[in-house]
Structure 1
Amino acid sequence: MTATSATPDAPVVALTLGDPAGIGPELVARLLARDGTLASANVVLVGDPWLWLDGQRVAGLQVPTQPVASLADVRGRPDRALPAFVAVDTVRPQDVERGQAGAAGGRSVLQVLDRCLDAAQAGQVDAICFAPLNKFAMKQGGLAHEDEMHHFAQHLAVQTFFCEFNTLDGLWTSRISSHVPMKDVPAYITKDRIVEAATLIHRSLQANGVAAPRVAVAGFNPHNGDGGTCGREEIEVIEPAVRELNARGLAVTGPFPADTIFLRARDGELDAVVTMYHDQGQIALKLLGFSRGVTVHGGLPVPITTPAHGTAYDIAGRGKADVQAMANAFAIACRMAGHQPRTSA
């Protein structure tokens, strides 16, 4: 690991190990061993000591850290040549079966993330980057929401529009509906939600360094509705939303047929695509680059990022995990944290 460390005013970025039964601990070890990781943030790892040791063992690495008593002590530490480490006690080794979703692992993930969210609310942390988690394990462990995004929003008392972004290299996507059954999707397609989603991703891209984002909106029906003969959402909802966005000064285009819009994106014509439902964007991005994609939780008061792939239970513990998506998620967290208004702890 390089000796380069962050400047005194660098943002504090919290890293978590993710699901104890998955590849997260290995990914964090690989990330923190990379040259340059510590140059852009004051990094603090939050996790169970035994799990952190196991992640290093699986990765075949030894990554020194600087123990600190709490997240409140991270920002003011004078020596940042090593990542800080806040030890927690959330799960026992005997309660984790590698490669299997379990309630104990899900509870651990929730406890660690909640600690980071509390620190963010207190101004002690500027961004959070978490290693992959498993929603089923978290629901077994007490998650009361459809996904972690809604848990974050409730914990942070968010009242305005929020949604997941998925990113791949320079391309971002947002969606009008997310983890809901397909039969419920049409109810989510409203003018207000499209305007909010497009505005949010436009603003978030600017926070990530894109001065004039090129945002397009996907249609919902086959062939963009074929002039209303194959569905009218494009005519009655999506087109009016695009006109409203234009009236507000945002250079948003669309709707474009969902089966071709990502060809434009692939060819570099777009910075973002607003999709109507989960798989409309996810399939495209994962085909374009499964091992590089990142999920950004948009609309929250603190940037929160994670790899777009999952816990990879099938290869957990085998030392084969690809760190690139984790590194990309960390880089986005650092960039967005640098654009966030900072509250003193």
Structure 2
Amino acid sequence: MTQKTPLIALTLGDPGGIGPELVAKLLAEGEATQGCHTVLIGDRWLWQEGQRVAGVNLELPEVESFKEARDHSGPVFLEMDTVSPEQTAYAEANAAGGASVLAVLSRCIEAHKAGEVDGICFAPLNKYAMKLGGLGHEDELHWFVEKLGVTTFFSEFNTLGTLWTSRISSHVPLKDAHTYITEERIVAAATLIHDTLKKAGFDAPRVAVAGFNPHAGEGGTCGREEIDIIAPAVEACVAKGYPIVGPFPADTVFLKARDGELDAVVTMYHDQGQIAIKMLGFDRGVTILGGLPVPVGSPAHGTAFDIAGQGKANLTPTRNAFNLVKAMCLN
């Protein structure tokens, strides 16, 4: 049976950030979009501004719908009118820019629901702008979950390609992180990232679970979460047929990951994994929204307001994000 060539929706991100420039660089490079159909969707003026900043000039065929993109071998442009140049500015998070992002992503989600889009890659967003523009969730992942009707466990994954991280809690105050540590959530997080790694092309994913307390509780002298919750969760994963290991102290487990002994680490809260993975490779990191029925990815960095509009943005994370979404579609 011949596999269908995937169609990936690509967005320009927040108008005040580096997203339009990155998308222009990606499409000008051309290599990433080979082997798939690519639909760039957004405002015409913003796409033109991104090209100006990137120093490129691309003539993309224009389409009226996602369906039409399958008639083209290369990238195409689908116009939306969501924000005017007068409503936004570089290095500025505002309601108009946030509403624009939400409108474009909503169109991509509806296209996926209609069976027209196989994957979504979005340029950097600004959560504050999105909340000003109408986002009522803690982050874009929870917004996607509601829009797509997801009822099972979900998690944001961060990856450097050969190393992935998941977490039990995400964008919540640190004082509340311990309330999310349950056996059910740990089992769900560990098995989800294992299964997602398989979809991303890992034959036999090696997944470890980090502890919560200093030294993984040090036998209960620094806390009992490891004894009472985390270790039983790891045992439950093994009983389900998943080769999950841990818990390991969070300050040493990433040494194993760095040295190639692990493919993924499940962490207990946001910064426990984020600090480590960004130290290991901030200039190539990718964020994957795990647990959704469609591959969704983005560069792991933000809108970089300090360099927006200057043509300095590093393409590598965006290229990696697009390639990973494409690989997940193909798998």
Give the TM bin, normalised by the shorter chain: over 0.9
Of the candidates 23, 41, 48, which is equivalent to residue 46 of structure 1? 41
Amino acid at match of 2:234: V
> Matches of residues 90-101 of structure 1 in structure 2 within 5 Å?
90-101=82-93
> What is the aligned partner in structure 1 of residue 287 from structure 2?
295
Could you tell me how far 1:8 is from its partner in structure 2? Answer: 8.8
Deviation string for 1:316-336 (max 9, x for gaps)? 000000000000000010011
Could you say what secondary structure the match of 2:120 adopts? strand
Distance 1:333 1:251 in 2: 25
Could you tell me how far 1:210 is from its partner in structure 2? Answer: 0.3
Asked whether the equivalents of residues 45 and 86 of structure 1 are also in contact (C-alpha less than 8 Å), the reply is yes
Amino acid at match of 1:66: P
Is 1:238 the counterpart of 2:198 in the alignment? no
Deviation string for 1:96-138 (max 9, x for gaps)? 1111111100000000000001101111000000000000000
Distance 1:294 1:35 in 2: 19
Distance 2:142 2:252 in 1: 31
> What's the TM-score once normalised by structure 2's chain length?
0.98
Deviation string for 1:238-291 (max 9, x for gaps)? 000000111111111000000010000000000000000000110001111111
Unaligned runs of 5+ in 1: 1-6, 340-345
> What is the aligned partner in structure 2 of residue 169 from structure 1?
161
Of the candidates 50, 65, 71, which is equivalent to residue 60 of structure 2? 65
Is 1:267 the counterpart of 2:280 in the alignment? no
Asked whether the equivalents of residues 72 and 119 of structure 1 are also in contact (C-alpha less than 8 Å), the reply is no
Distance 2:253 2:92 in 1: 37
Could you say what secondary structure the match of 1:37 adopts? coil
Could you say what secondary structure the match of 1:151 adopts? helix
Could you tell me how far 1:12 is from its partner in structure 2? Answer: 0.2
Of the candidates 246, 250, 257, which is equivalent to residue 254 of structure 1? 246
Could you tell me how far 1:38 is from its partner in structure 2? Answer: 2.4
Is 1:19 the counterpart of 2:14 in the alignment? yes
Could you tell me how far 1:72 is from its partner in structure 2? Answer: 2.8
Is 1:120 the counterpart of 2:115 in the alignment? no
Distance 1:287 1:198 in 2: 23
Distance 1:138 1:54 in 2: 21
Could you say what secondary structure the match of 1:40 adopts? coil
Is 1:129 the counterpart of 2:124 in the alignment? no
Could you say what secondary structure the match of 1:150 adopts? helix
Question: How large is the RMSD of aligned CA atoms in angstroms?
Answer: 1.0
Distance 1:15 1:65 in 2: 13
Distance 1:243 1:63 in 2: 54
Deviation string for 1:157-196 (max 9, x for gaps)? 0011001000012100000000000111111000000000
Could you say what secondary structure the match of 1:231 adopts? coil
Of the candidates 307, 311, 317, which is equivalent to residue 315 of structure 1? 307
Could you say what secondary structure the match of 2:283 adopts? coil
Amino acid at match of 2:150: V
> What is the aligned partner in structure 2 of residue 144 from structure 1?
136
Amino acid at match of 2:45: W
Unaligned runs of 5+ in 2: none
Distance 2:182 2:127 in 1: 27
Could you say what secondary structure the match of 2:108 adopts? helix
Distance 2:328 2:249 in 1: 31
Could you tell me how far 1:34 is from its partner in structure 2? Answer: 1.3
> What is the aligned partner in structure 2 of residue 37 from structure 1?
32
Amino acid at match of 2:4: D
Q: How many residues align?
A: 330
- Identity level (%): 62
Could you tell me how far 1:62 is from its partner in structure 2? Answer: 1.1
> What's the TM-score once normalised by structure 1's chain length?
0.94
